[in-house]
């Protein structure tokens, strides 16, 4: 019996397709909630963004899968009446925003495994440090410096 692989990804359709091509039906996807929230809110008029943003936060913060799913479906109907594109953005991949909930791991891991922001910040910091290194440096030496930089950053996490 093969094990599933959990991927936490932004809403990139191409990335999901590539993961399926690489790992087949073994993948389990958790969509980044921060990316999803930003996408939904981008379609809404300014006066609705705060209220909808809070409702999304509340729904995704529910401890139980059924509660979160129900809250998101009710919110999707309300949002669709405000802006169809925002409603469609919420509906698209909705189940994949609740993967960690469905697995019963939200209480223990929800804060860590529902966003790609930590990884993005880490990559940005690492790129900044690597830019300080010379371009002429051989790739194996650059890799060694990258490993040292990651270890130094880990100490600060």
As a whole number, mean pLDDT of residues 3-10 equals: 82
Q: Which two tokens stand for residue 30?
A: 């958790």
- Helix, strand, coil proportions of the chain in percent (round to 5)? 70, 5, 20
Q: Is 93 left (phi over 0), alpha (psi -120 to 50) or beta?
A: left
Residue the block writes with tokens 């999304």? 56
The helix (run of H) or strand (run of E) holding residue 130 is helix 117-131
Query: pLDDT by residue (tens digit) across 16-62?
Result: 888 888 888 888 888 889 889 999 999 999 999 999 999 999 999 99
Of residues 107 and 76, more confidence is placed in 76
* Across 50-54, 110-114, 153-157, least confident range: 153-157
Model pLDDT, residue 84: 97
pLDDT of residue 141: 81
Residue 136, classified by CB atoms within 10 Å of its CB into exposed (0-12), middle (13-18) or buried (19+), is exposed
- Provide the token pair at 63: 């401890």
Q: What is the mean pLDDT of residues 138-153?
A: 78
As a whole number, mean pLDDT of residues 132-149 equals: 75
Closest alpha carbon to 37 in 23, 20, 51: 51
Residues of the chain above pLDDT 70, percent? 92
Q: Over the chain, what is the mean pLDDT?
A: 85
């Amino acid at each position: 019996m093969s094990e599933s692989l959990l991927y936490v990804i932004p809403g990139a359709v191409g990335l999901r397709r590539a993961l399926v091509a690489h790992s087949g039906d073994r993948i389990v996807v958790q969509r980044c909630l921060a990316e999803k929230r930003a996408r939904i809110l981008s379609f809404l008029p300014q006066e609705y963004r705060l209220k909808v943003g809070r409702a999304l936060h509340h729904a995704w913060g529910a401890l139980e899968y059924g509660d979160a799913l129900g809250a998101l479906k009710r919110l999707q109907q309300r949002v669709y009446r405000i802006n169809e594109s925002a409603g469609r953005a919420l509906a698209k991949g909705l189940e994949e925003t609740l993967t960690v909930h469905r697995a019963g791991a939200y209480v223990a891991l929800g804060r860590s495994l529902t966003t790609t922001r930590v990884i993005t910040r880490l990559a940005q910091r690492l790129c900044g440090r690597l830019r300080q290194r010379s371009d002429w440096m051989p790739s194996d030496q650059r890799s060694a410096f990258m490993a040292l930089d990651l270890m130094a950053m880990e100490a600060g996490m």
